[in-house]
Structure 1
Amino acid sequence: MEEMQMSEELFRLLDGSRMVSKQGDAMMLLTVTEDHWPHVAMISAGEILALDRQQLRLALWPGTTTTGNMIRTGKATLAAFIGGRAHYVRLLLDQLPELPDAEYPRARFTATVAASRTDTAKYADILTGVTIRLKNPAEVLKRWEKTHKELLR
């Protein structure tokens, strides 16, 4: 069943708190290219921030295929695998203005949950989704903290 808000479990992952414990968490961000092919990118917990269960902010590298697709279509789907469940969230996007004083320039978006679905498999347990290991955790966590602050502006 689809809902108009993300699950509480996904919200807690994306709420911007306890980032040290979330540094290995990554999700898939799906968009559609100009020639109508699905495009998949990874997004980390430091590049997305849930304001509540219906509103998010995203900070992406400018000039990427994903960023271009999001600007063009105003849509994306977030796929996250946590707690033994798959979470699929359709997002309606609006680009936010650039921050001229941003330490880490990003294409920033506000997102509204258009539909959200949580899925499990009756015949199997989902053990993990995308897990990453940061090469320089102190540097990246500092950048994520600043990115989240800039997403709130």
Structure 2
Amino acid sequence: MSQFLGSTLTEELLKRLSGDDIASQTGKAILVVSVDDHGWAHPAMLSYHEVVAKDRSRIDLTIGKTSTTAKNLKRTGKITLLITDAGLNYYLKGTANELRDALEGIPFMSLFRVEVEQLLEDQEPDALITSGVTFSRPEKQEVGVIVQRIFQSVKKEPL
């Protein structure tokens, strides 16, 4: 059963989402859920390169500007992030507002700022979480360049 922790990130989550040690999060996904125009939960995945905590109550994230998730966030502003990895499992609920319709030099990505409203932890003592969702990218230089440009754009966005 999940436990309400408050309306700010824990130190552990702030460190994990700060982007300061992005290499340790490479290949790990953050699940995000928005609400579609029929009231259904709409899942999507982001990499840690697309999600950066600015402080304990604000997180910036980039989303494909024509995606259903971006359209849902513009319409409702509601988002839930599932941050799951070995030994940890958090649900972060917040309100998202679009800061930029396009990132500089990356016109297909929008920038949103999420204000944290609820942070819940879900850890069952008899059901240890052993991993989160992981992925691998093709070893293409152009993909790596775009990923790094996206990360740098989100990281440098002022509070």
TM above 0.5, yes or no, is: yes
SS at match of 2:7: coil
Deviations 1:111-133 (A, max 9, x none): 11011011201221100111111
- Aligned residue identity for 1:110: R
Question: Alignment partner of 1:149: what SS?
Answer: helix
Matched, 1:54 2:60: no
Q: 1:16 to 1:138 in 2, by over 3 A?
A: farther
Count of matched residue pairs: 152
- Whether 1:17 aligns to 2:20 is yes
> Percent identity over the alignment?
28
Match of residue 11, structure 2, among 8, 17, 26:
8
Separation in structure 1 between the aligned mates of residue 31 and residue 90 of structure 2, nearest angstrom? 10
Distance 2:131 2:62 in 1: 24
1:150 Cα deviation from its structure 2 partner:
2.2
Q: Cα RMSD (Å) of the superposition? A: 1.8
- Give, in angstroms, the shift of residue 21 of structure 1: 2.3
TM-score (norm 2): 0.86
1:69 to 48, 67, 72: 72
Tell me which of 106, 111, 115 is aligned to 1:104: 106
Extract structure 1 runs of 4+ deviating beyond 4 A. Answer: 137-141
Residue among 27, 42, 46 paired with 1:39: 42
Q: 1:144 — aligned with what?
A: 147
- Aligned: 1:26 with 2:34: no
Aligned equivalents of 2:128, 2:140: Cα separation in 1: 30
Unaligned residue ranges in structure 2 (runs of 5+) = none
Q: The residue matched to 1:126 in structure 2 has which SS?
A: coil
Aligned residue type for 1:119: D
Equivalents in 2 of 1:87, 1:139: separation in Å? 33
